[in-house]
Structure 1
Amino acid sequence: MARSAEAAGLTVRAASRARGSDWLDRSTWADTLRGADAAYLVRPTDVGSAEATRDVGLFAREAVSLGVRRLVLLSARGEERARPTEEALAGSGARWTVVRAAWFAQNFSEGPLVEELRQSGELVFPGGEVREPFVDLRDVANVVVAALTDGDRYAGRALKVSGPRLPTFREAVAEVGRAAGRELTYTPVPARRYGERPAGFGVPAQEVEFLVELFESLLDGRNSRLSDGVREVLGREARDFGEFAREAAGAGVWKA
């Protein structure tokens, strides 16, 4: 996200604990926001829905009070529990935009899924045979930057972004395997059974329950449709999952 903003000529102030900003410590918010024209935030997923709604609302109102004119929130397509958080942003008085994204293609190349594919050659996941229009994070970032820089055009709107086609998780894993030159397999499991895996690694029960409920809802077929937000905002077709897979494989992401 930061690279896309800098490429668009924006001056970026990244917020992180390493830079003295902590989402859970409200006393750090003002220093992060002061002097900024616009701010981008991701809906928190490491707290409950009520806490996320409260914190986003408080953050947005503080941003407005400090002169931040535009706020863009990254949310998820089809996640009904995210709607109160989006409404809290809308009620802040800011010129706001919500970007609702499909499942990220980069979930296959970053985080726990890539380690599973790399080490075992198998992805065990509660995606069933549902079809999902995996979206490239670079497209998401470019849409977010457009919303940050053209507040008049996209203010007060929810932009839905997806990839250009609808593979299943099984087909996506096979496509990754072909790009990587490896035989990779996909094993669908119920969300509750999948939740036993992170619990076994010591992930807190609240986070495990969040993941289970999230997968049970988002992977029930409700998102098996395309959205035209990338074309509307960027004036081009969304990047294809195959392009992502070939580039990631070329970088050695899935080497055994």
Structure 2
Amino acid sequence: MAVAALTQPGHENRLYELTGARAITFAEALESIAKASGREVRLAPVSPDVFRAGLLEAGVSKPEIDLILYLFTTVLDGRNEKPADGVSAALHREARSFEDYAMQAAASGAWDI
């Protein structure tokens, strides 16, 4: 999307909402990553206060922490669960599935340690 928007005409003054082909949960995303990478991946719920403390300990700035917590507590509360058509509108093709992304990322070595 970024390459198309920056190098091809017709994207000027356009706003594209980008999502995958379907809405998925974090648990479903982790399941796809585990399957693609052949690794065990688990979701561990963490309270916002514990998450904030961990980010502070890791040296993340307060403005960045505030934004991250806003995203996880407000933006990702379910109101945005409907997939958008930005990929289709910009690239004239359907969005890839997260499963396809996970397989490609695993094949590239993205999750190799």
Give the TM-score band, short-chain normalised.
Answer: 0.7 to 0.9
| 1:192 and 2:49 correspond | yes
Count of residue pairs brought into register by the alignment: 113
| Cα distance change, pair 142–220 in 1 and its aligned pair in 2 (3 A) | same
**Alpha-carbon offset, residue 142 of structure 1:** 4.4
Larger of the two Rg values belongs to structure: 1
- The structure carrying a bigger strand percent of its residues is 1
1:169 maps to 26
1:149 maps onto 2:6 in alignment: no
What is the CA RMSD across the aligned residues, in angstroms?
A: 2.1
Q: Give the aligned partner of residue 236 of structure 1.
A: 93
Higher relative contact order (CA 8 A, sep 6+): 2
Residues 129-148 of structure 1: pairs in structure 2 closer than 5 A: 140-145=1-6
Q: What is the aligned counterpart of 1:207 among 59, 64, 72?
A: 64
Letter in 1 for 2:51: Y
Decide whether the 8 Å contact of 1:195 with 1:211 is kept in 2: no
After TM superposition, give the deviation of residue 202 of structure 1 in Å. Answer: 2.2
**2:43 alignment partner, SS class:** strand
Percent identical? 34
Cα distance between partner residues in 1 of 2:29 and 2:10: 34
| SS in structure 2 of the partner of residue 238 of structure 1 | coil
Give structure 1 stretches of 5+ with no counterpart.
Answer: 1-139
Equivalent runs, 1:17-96 vs 2, <5 Å: none
Q: What is the alpha-carbon distance in structure 2 between the residues aligned to residue 254 and residue 177 of structure 1?
A: 10
Which TM-score applies when normalising by structure 1? 0.40
Normalised by the length of structure 2, the TM-score is 0.83
Q: Where does the alignment leave 5 or more consecutive residues of structure 2 unmatched?
A: none
